[in-house]
Structure formats: C-alpha cells, structure tokens
Structure 1
Amino acid sequence: MTTEPTARSRPREALGDPHLRRLVVGQGLAAVVDALFLVWLTLFVLELSEPGFATGLVLVAVALPRAALLLPAGVLVDRLGPARITAAAAWLRVAVLLALGLLVTLTSPSVTTVALLAGLLGAADAAYFPAALALLPAVVPTGKLARVNALVQGAESGGDLIGPAVAAGAIAAVGFEATLGVIAAMAALAAGVLSTLIRVVRRGDGARDDADPDAFGSEQLSSARALGAGLRYAWHEPLVRGMLAAIALINIAVVGPVLVGGAVLADQRLGGAGSLGVVLSGFGAGSLAGSLMAGWRPPARRGWTVVGGVAAIGAGVAGLAAVSHVITATAVVSLVGLGSAFLGVVVVATLQERVPNQLLGRMMSLIVLVTVAFDPFSYVLAGALLPYGTTTLFLVSGSTVLACAALVATSPAIRSLR
C-alpha cells in the first residue's frame, strides 16, 4: 500500500479507496452470512430431530474445531499472509455450504453428516477470523482502522439483529434448500470480493519494525516455536496482556449470566420467556449503535475509553438485578451491547495499530480465542449462581466487571493510550 495514513479521516473519506470498499463489502457480507447460516443450521437440525442433544451436537461440532485450531491458524496467517488465508478460508466456507446444499436437496442427511460438515465449517472459521482481522492493517491506513473496524463489526451486529427474522422468514417462504442456496451465493460473492485483495496486499507491506523478528516472528521457527513466541509476546507486552485479560474476564462474567440468567429473568419478572427475544434484540441494537459510534468519532483518549467501556458493561449487568419490566430490561441490555461493541472496536483497532506486523495473525487469533473459548465457563458460573436468585447472579457478575474496570484503570500501558 502506498496510501499514507492520516491522523483522522472525515466520515465521507472513510471508504474513498476502492480497496477499502471491497474489504468492507467482503467482510461485512461474510458477517451477515454467518448470522443467517447459524439460524438456518439450528432450525434445520430441529427439523431433522427433536430439540435437545442433536442441536447441541451440531453446534458443538462447529465450536470445537474453531476453538482448537485458532492458535495454529494464527501462525499460518503470519506465515502465508492474511489476504491469502482470508480468501482460502472464505472459499472453503463456500465449498462446505454447497456440499451441504447438495445433501439437503438430493438426500435426507443424518444429524451426524450435518455435524461433520459443520465441523469443517468451524475449521474454516478458525482460519478466517484471525486472518480477516489481520488483513485490515494491510489494506487500511492507520487513521481509518477504527472506522473500518466499526463498519465491519456493525455489519456483524446488524446481521445478529435481523438474521433470525430474515432466515426464519425465508425458510418459511421458500424452504430450507432455496434459503441455503441464497446464503451460499452470498458467501461466494464475499469470497470473490475478498480474493481481489490478494493482489493488493504484498507480503511485508506495512511491516513495523518494533519487534525483534528473531525473537518473535521469524519464519525459520517451527510452527510450535512460532506459536510459543507469539504467546510469550502476548504475556510480556503489558498492553496486549491487559486487554486480553479484560476481554476474557468480561466474557466469563457476562455471556452466561445474560443468556442463562436473562431467560430466567424473563420468565420470572418480565412476563414470560417470549420477552427474552425482545431483550436480546436490545443487545443487538446496542451493539450496532456502539460499533458505529466507535467508528464515527474515534476517541482521543483510548485508555480511559477502554476503562469506561468496561465500566458501562459492568453497570449494565448489575442493573439487571433491579429491572422488573421488559422495556427497562431492554434498555439496560442495550447499554451492555453498546459498551461491548464500542470496546471491541477500540481494542481491536488499537492492537492492529501497535502489534508488529509479523505477529498480527497470532495476536488476532488470541483475541478471537478469548472472545469465544470462555463461554462454557461463563455458563457454569451462571448455573452455579442461579440457585441464589437472579438478583445475586447479576450483582456478582456486574460487580466482577466493575472490579475489572478498576484494575484496567491501574494499568499504565492502557491508561496512557491515546
């Protein structure tokens, strides 16, 4: 890339470069495909069998390979380059969707067959997610990273917000086969757009020299040693270590309590389990707003913005202890979604700017891993606290996140971020 980074881009300039437009369209479309397919997959498995074990089996089949392969995939991204891995993983996703489409159209696939294909899709996700995040700094000038991250994450939040209704409506109107065909076509379009960026990104373009390549990023290292070098960098770099720890703690303290505790709260205080959908829609709307806010006006004092984002999440979760009406609950959960998305854009953009180029794939794989790997622990936490009531569950979880905000504020590396 020859484009010079700017300190801050005006809104109308954010996508002035055609390469940036292709990046946002490709990754944004891929995020929408993810949201639509997850709903399609869940409903299709429910069609094949009774609710329960089968649905869990297929969803676990997606999650396990994704979590297990994320860190090795980060090494691969640093070795081969983010553009190549992004395109290859995107086309692998298309191939899996087409194979599943043929099976659904021509046969009556078993749950086991669907689970195996879902596992292959999880493996593709493990490569795609860190590669897509590492691709941004290779295409996007530094001054536009926050804005482009916001647009991509906004597409993801928008897909999560409207995906269930759109996918369910399409299935009801045209059936599972045609709906999956449309999803596969969208995935192919995303893969095609992202593939055009391979020629734009050249290995080593924009590399930063603020790390010793022999210590951290040398391609001469074996895969195991390269992975170890990345983990050592993350541990010894205070900024990276602090942000990874904060994200992990937030996920443990928030995901399970909001989903599990939210379902119980809806049933006990908000008029029935059906109100949970309204409340979770508030989270999606808040996430969309938070993503766009973070990109529209990137904060001048990022460190204190990170502290404030963590505190907003904690206050929102703790506030659920006192809600007794669906409107209030939706507003509070919207605050949690807004804080989470705003924080996500700021953290990812900050690491993309500051992590050495030769380590970026490994650091992005760690970001994705701590975002998804601790969900089971969060569900266990929620289950352990629920017998004491939803008030206790939300107060303990929210207080934990508020304590995390206080700890983040004591970190000079984070507090001094500009």
Structure 2
Amino acid sequence: MSANTVPETSFEADARSIHSDGEHVTPGVIAIGVVIGRTSEFFDFFVFAIASVLVFPTLVFPYVDRLQGTLYSFAVFALAFFARPIGTIIFIAVDRAYGRSVKLTISIFLLGTSTVAMGFIPSYESAGNWSVAILALLRIGQGIALGGAWDGLASLLSLNSPEKHRGWYAMLPQLGAPIGLLVASGLFAFFVAALPNEDFFAWGWRYPFFVAFAINVVALFARLRLVVTPEFEEMYAKRELEPAPVVETVQSQWKAIWLGSFVPLASFALFHMVTVFPLSWVVLFTREAPARFLVVEVIGAVIGIGAMLVSGLLADRFGRRTMLGTIAVLIALFAIAAPSLLGGGDVGERLFMGIGFVLFGLSFGQSSGAIASTLSPQHRYTGSALTTDLAWLFGAGFAPLAALLLTSKLGLAASGAYLFSGAVFTLVALGLNKQLAKRDIAR
C-alpha cells in the first residue's frame, strides 16, 4: 500500500497547515524540530534511569537487598536496547508501506504510552511477580518505540546545513540529551526533596512519568510539522533518505554499520558514567542525599549543553574525526582518574561531574554526525537507524549494570577500566573507518 493512499490524520493535517503559506524550511527550522524530538526521547530515557535507582529497587524488587535490587533494575533497563533494533525493523516496514508520518505517530504514541504506564505500575507487595513482568514489558515497549522514532531528521539537518558549519548542525540534535536529563533530574529532585519518603514512594515518583505524555505529544507535532510538507518530502528524496529494506541494507553496508556502531562507544559509555552510574553509587555507597546529587546532575547537564555548543565550533575548525579521536584520548585519561575523583569526597565528586560533563558534551555532540557520514546515500536512512541501535546497545545498554556490578565486586577502579575500554574501541573504530577519514580530509 502506498503512503499516499492512507487517510490523513488530524495531527498530519494540523502540521501540514502550518506550511500552507509556503514558508521555506531552513536548517534552523529543522534544528528546532530535531531538538524537541530528541528531548522527548531522552526525557523518557532518564525518567526510567533515575527511577531504576531511586524507586524500582524498593517498589519492584523489595525481596532482595538494595544493591541487588538496583542491579535487577539495570538489567530491566538494558531490555530497551535489545528491543530497539527490533523496533527499527518493524517500523522501517511501516515506513515503507504507509509513510514516515504514520510511523512517527505510532512509535511516539507507543513511547509516551509505555512511559506513562510505568507511573501506574503496582508494587511487588500488591502484585508479586506481575509487577516485575509489567515493568519489563513496558521497558521493551519503550525500546521498540525508540527504534521507530528514528526519522532521519538529524541526517537531513547535517546534509542541508552550510558546508563550513556541518559540525555545528550535527551537534544540535544531541542537545536533547542534556536537556532531557535536566528536566528529568529537576523533577525527581523536587519530589524527593519536597515529600516524605512514604509519600514519595506512594505517589510522588509517578508524576515525572505522567509528564512524559505531554512532552511526547509536543514532540510528535514538532516532527510532523516537518516530515509531512511537500518540500521536506522532496528534500528526503533528493538526499536519498528514503527507507531501504533492512536485509538489503545490512548485506550492502554491514561493514560501515559495524564500524560506525563502535565510533561513538567512548561517548555513549561516558554518557552513563556521568549520569546513571554515579547516582547509583551515591545512593548505595554514600550518605549523600539523592536530591542533592540530582541537583548536581542538573548543573552537570547545563555544563554539558555548553560543551556541546563548543563541540560544534571545534568540529567545524578541526574536523569530526580529529575531534572524536582527541576526545576519546581525553576520556581514556579521565577513566584513569575517575575512580579517585568519585571517591574523593565532595570536591572530588564535583570535579568528576564537571570534567565528565565537559568531555561528555564535547564527544556526544559529534557522535551523531559520525554515524551518518559513513553510509552510502541510498542506504543512509535505514543504515543510520541500525548503526544507532547497535551503538546504543554496545555503548550504553550494559553500562550502568556493568559499572555497578564491577564496582560492587572490585571497587571504583573497575568502573574506570570499563570506561577506558570504551575509549579504546572508539579509537580503533576511527582508525579502521577509512570512509570517515576520507570525508574528513575532503573537508
């Protein structure tokens, strides 16, 4: 069935009407839609991650100690990263059959519904193992939805940006991560600080999950505003950002997909090492109040935003490959010092978070551009989605679980070694990725 034969939804009609005056779609307009969309995805991501430390060990896994309960929560957390490639396969087929707007509408509503439903999860005391099963099922729903939420807008933004400013425009979609962290951490910090423990665990923790639906509706409209316009459809076709069959893409681009999935590994590993993991370490192994550390993460997110903006300027000055390689080396050095900093009291903790978020912003700001630039044009849309899925699976899916497990058994130095290995993989992948090197030289 062609996408043109599918009746237009009210969302699509409203989004299309905005451009009825012939407004030109500029890179700035694309950037706004992309940032809003990514913010919604990362907000959902961080709400679950924070609850995995503060809520689920007590609510869903009360039959084990707090450390084991947190490890179980992080195991459920990883399920979304396994489900994400499945979601990509399913929704690429939906995209090819019914169009990008139908795909986005279904996937974002699935994402928002899965996240909001988590706010209604019953406790283990009232539902037994059903509580665990429901949490796992909804987390898988989030992962499938995230696979379907890939819209190609980040690639389109980079490809339609001015030649000398592609690093800047490649950075913009990544701003959604620290913005999503800022909002999620701020909400949880408020409820943790304002409510007694009994009220927080009874109902307070649920409100950040409810906020997700409103954010996702805004994000859906912002993205449909772009993808349903005739001008955008022409731009997608011109830039060869139409969905290619998954099997064909893998057969043709397997090497680029495989190497591309390791390029951002240092950045994605650091992503969790300065957000989810330190929160779990503070809650489990220190006497610091969770609300205080959540405020530290809010401040860190602001630092990350500033560093990302700088990364765009540096990438345009020195090139993405040089930028990623240099920051990977700095992340490796940080990994050596990180255990001492995190275990060094208030001053060490602040240095860990400050330096970590600077490096996170500089590296994560360019990780998206690196992925898209390694694929052939005719397979860029599907290949970018698959590469992103694998990069998140390898670099982020197990990071909180592995870091906490290693730390609980071997001490903080083991978490530093885990981060160091991510930097090594990034450097090796950059060295092997000749296509990315040629693009960097050509610029």
Q: Percent identity?
A: 11
Amino acid at match of 1:371: W
Amino acid at match of 2:216: A
What is the correspondence of 1:297-336 to structure 2 with a 5 Å cutoff? 298-300=315-317, 301-320=319-338, 323=341, 324=344, 326-336=346-356
Q: CA deviation at 1:91?
A: 0.9
**Which stretch of structure 1 is more off in the superposition, 385-394 or 283-292?**
385-394
| Distance change >3 Å, CA 14–CA 93, structure 1 → 2 | same
What is the correspondence of 1:104-253 to structure 2 with a 5 Å cutoff? 112-113=130-131, 115-116=133-134, 119-129=137-147, 131-132=149-150, 134-138=152-156, 141-143=160-162, 146-147=167-168, 149-170=170-191, 172=194, 175-176=204-205, 179-200=208-229, 201-202=232-233, 205-208=236-239, 219=245, 225-226=247-248, 229-230=249-250, 232-235=252-255, 237=256, 241-248=258-265
Amino acid at match of 1:405: L
Deviations 1:78-119 (A, max 9, x none): 441554433321111233355555677xxx666624642552
Inter-partner Cα distance in structure 2 for 1:233 and 1:246: 15
Deviations 1:314-373 (A, max 9, x none): 111112255445334433443333333332332312433553254423433332332234
| Distance change >3 Å, CA 359–CA 101, structure 1 → 2 | same
Counterpart secondary structure, 1:320: helix
Q: Which residue of 2 aligns with 1:365?
A: 386
What is the correspondence of 1:286-297 to structure 2 with a 5 Å cutoff? 286-295=303-312
Deviations 1:246-279 (A, max 9, x none): 43466569957997699779999xxx45299387
Q: CA deviation at 1:308?
A: 0.8
Counterpart secondary structure, 1:205: helix
Deviations 1:169-195 (A, max 9, x none): 247568355554433333333333334
Inter-partner Cα distance in structure 1 for 2:361 and 2:331: 10
Q: Which residue of 2 aligns with 1:338?
A: 358
| Distance change >3 Å, CA 122–CA 147, structure 1 → 2 | farther
Q: Which residue of 1 aligns with 2:11?
A: none
Give aligned pairs, total.
390
- Is 1:35 the counterpart of 2:27 in the alignment? no
Deviations 1:194-221 (A, max 9, x none): 34344134388245469xx9xxx754xx
The answer to whether the 8 A contact 2:90-2:148 is kept is: no
Structure 2 gap segments, 5+ residues each: 1-18, 196-202
TM-score, scaled to structure 1:
0.70
Inter-partner Cα distance in structure 2 for 1:298 and 1:127: 31
| Distance change >3 Å, CA 189–CA 121, structure 1 → 2 | farther
Counterpart secondary structure, 1:196: helix
Q: CA deviation at 1:159?
A: 2.7
The answer to whether the 8 A contact 2:178-2:301 is kept is: yes
What is the correspondence of 1:50-61 to structure 2 with a 5 Å cutoff? 50=62, 51=66, 57=72, 60-61=75-76
| Distance change >3 Å, CA 303–CA 43, structure 1 → 2 | closer
Deviations 1:209-236 (A, max 9, x none): 69xx9xxx754xxx6x34xx4265131x
Inter-partner Cα distance in structure 1 for 2:351 and 2:273: 19
Inter-partner Cα distance in structure 2 for 1:289 and 1:169: 24
| Distance change >3 Å, CA 245–CA 42, structure 1 → 2 | closer
Match of residue 372, structure 2, among 333, 352, 355? 352
Structure 1 gap segments, 5+ residues each: 6-12
**Which stretch of structure 1 is more off in the superposition, 344-353 or 176-185?**
176-185
| Distance change >3 Å, CA 318–CA 169, structure 1 → 2 | same
Inter-partner Cα distance in structure 2 for 1:205 and 1:363: 14
Match of residue 83, structure 2, among 63, 69, 80? 69
